[in-house]
């Protein structure tokens, strides 16, 4: 895990953030989003 990922995870814990919304586009260019709990974010960093 790199320093930026560690910073994000530490900030989430310090600020007691409960969900992170990730935004992306699908293959057709439509905007999509998913909410991820901080406990799942480390896995999302690793696996995408």
Q: Which fold has domain 3-47?
A: Ubiquitin-like (UB roll) (3.10.20)
pLDDT at 15: 97
What is residue 20's three-state secondary structure?
strand
Which distant-in-sequence residues (6+ apart) come within 8 Å of 9 by Cβ?
Answer: 38, 41, 42
Domain boundaries along the sequence of the chain: 3-47
Q: Where are the beta strands (DSSP E) in the chain?
A: 20-25, 31-36
- Give pTM, 2 decimals: 0.69
The Cα–Cα gap between 29 and 4 comes to 27
Residues 1-48 have pLDDT tens digits of 799 999 999 999 999 999 999 999 999 999 999 999 998 988 888 887
The residue assigned the tokens 């999302």 is 44
Crossing angle for the helix pair 38-47 and 3-14, nearest 10 degrees?
170
């Amino acid at each position: 895990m790199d320093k930026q990922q560690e910073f994000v995870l530490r900030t989430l814990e310090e600020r007691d953030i409960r969900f992170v919304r990730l935004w992306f586009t699908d293959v057709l260019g439509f905007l999509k989003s998913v909410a991820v709990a901080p406990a799942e974010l480390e896995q999302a960093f690793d696996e995408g």
